[in-house]
Amino acid sequence: MKLPIYQVDAFTDQLFGGNPAAIVPLQTWLTAPVMQKIAAENNVSETAFFIPQGDHFELRWFTPTFEIDLCGHATLATAHILFTELGHAEDEIHFHTLKAGTLTVSRKDGLYTLDFPSRPPVACEIPTGLLDAVSGTTPIEVLSSRDHLLVYEKEEDVLALRPNFEALAKVVPMGIIATAPGRHSDFVSRFFIPGAGINEDPVTGSAHCNLIPYWAEKLGKKDLHAFQVSERRGELWCSLKDDRVLMSGKAVTFLKGEIYL
């Protein structure tokens, strides 16, 4: 069996920037163990698999170690391939997902816009060992939703973090978002998820489901400009719309090929 595969750098207009995602179009689902093995072999933060279903697509995402409930950059990358390689003629794509409901991606003026659920973080108890594992300056707030959100005073505090990833994976099984006001944007962030086999994710759409409602409230504005300040960097234009978040960005195709099963 031969399957097409693509790799896309998402939330960037430059190759080797943003967040790489692999995309595998299917006509029918493979078994979950096989998709997991493909994702592990690809060894990028997420591999997206999708199948056509009438006027929409079903979509699933796998990290190198498990199937995840929501992924922004791989959704944007999948839409990019549908638009640029697979002939999708409409300017909007609907993806049905197992755990995140229906997600929409639209294109306009050179940007792809994701319509995702808002996940406002709430105050929480700080897990034992978390701050030691993250290291660096003590955050001014600690909140949680799916992931823990650590809020710092300034961008330099976020850039200076050097986590102990082995310790962090033991303390928190999901992700850690570090964020602060940006010097050249409304806010910046980094995202660590060593429990999923990814020490630092370059650009994380799902993390912005937490970040956008938080900073919209803090800054008193619904339209926000954001950078994820990983080594590869990513840029997002964001909006809060009721219980949804809109995230816009660009994408570039890195490779296309075939998988032999």
Per cent of the chain over pLDDT 70 is 100
pLDDT higher than 90, residue 196: no
Output the six-digit token pair for 113. Answer: 């816009």
pLDDT higher than 90, residue 197: no
The angle that helices 205-219 and 72-84 make with each other, rounded to 10 degrees, is: 110
Query: What does the pLDDT average to over 29-54?
Result: 97
What is the value of pTM for the model shown? Answer: 0.91
Is 41 an annotated catalytic residue?
Answer: no
pLDDT higher than 90, residue 221: yes
Integer-rounded Cα Rg, in Å, for the chain is 18
Strands 122-123 and 67-68: unpaired
Q: What is the pLDDT of residues 51-105, one digit of tens each?
A: 999 999 999 999 999 999 999 999 999 999 999 999 999 999 999 999 899 999 9
Distance, in Å, from the CA atom of 138 to the CA atom of 78, rounded to the nearest integer, reads 38
- Based on the domain organization, do 130 and 102 belong to the same domain? no
CA count, 13 A, side-chain hemisphere, 153: 4
- Based on the domain organization, do 208 and 254 belong to the same domain? no
- Based on the domain organization, do 91 and 150 belong to the same domain? no
Q: What is the CATH number of the domain that holds 11?
A: 3.10.310.10
Q: What is the pLDDT of residues 132-155, one digit of tens each?
A: 999 999 999 999 998 999 999 999
- Based on the domain organization, do 89 and 181 belong to the same domain? no
Distance, in Å, from the CA atom of 187 to the CA atom of 133, rounded to the nearest integer, reads 23
Find tokens 């940006």 and name the residue: 182
Distance, in Å, from the CA atom of 156 to the CA atom of 183, rounded to the nearest integer, reads 9
Q: CB within 8 A of 125, min separation 6: which ones?
A: none
- Based on the domain organization, do 68 and 6 belong to the same domain? yes
Which conformational region is residue 110 in: left (phi greater than 0), alpha (psi within -120 to 50 degrees), or beta? Answer: left
Output the six-digit token pair for 176. Answer: 């850690």
Q: What is the 3-state secondary structure of 107-143? A: EECCEEEEEEECCCCEECCCCCCHHHHHCCCCCCEEE
**Amino acid 105: pLDDT:** 98
Active-site residue (options: 41, 46, 90, 141): 46
Count of the separate structural domains present in the chain: 2
Distance, in Å, from the CA atom of 237 to the CA atom of 193, rounded to the nearest integer, reads 23
Distance, in Å, from the CA atom of 225 to the CA atom of 248, rounded to the nearest integer, reads 10
Range of the domain at 24: 2-117+247-260
- Based on the domain organization, do 202 and 146 belong to the same domain? yes
Q: CB within 8 A of 136, min separation 6: which ones?
A: 157, 160, 161, 162
Q: Following DSSP, what letter does each residue of 87-98 receive, concatenated?
A: ---SSEEEEEET
- Cβ-in-10-Å burial (0-12, 13-18, 19+) of 4 comes to middle
- Based on the domain organization, do 181 and 251 belong to the same domain? no
- Based on the domain organization, do 16 and 110 belong to the same domain? yes
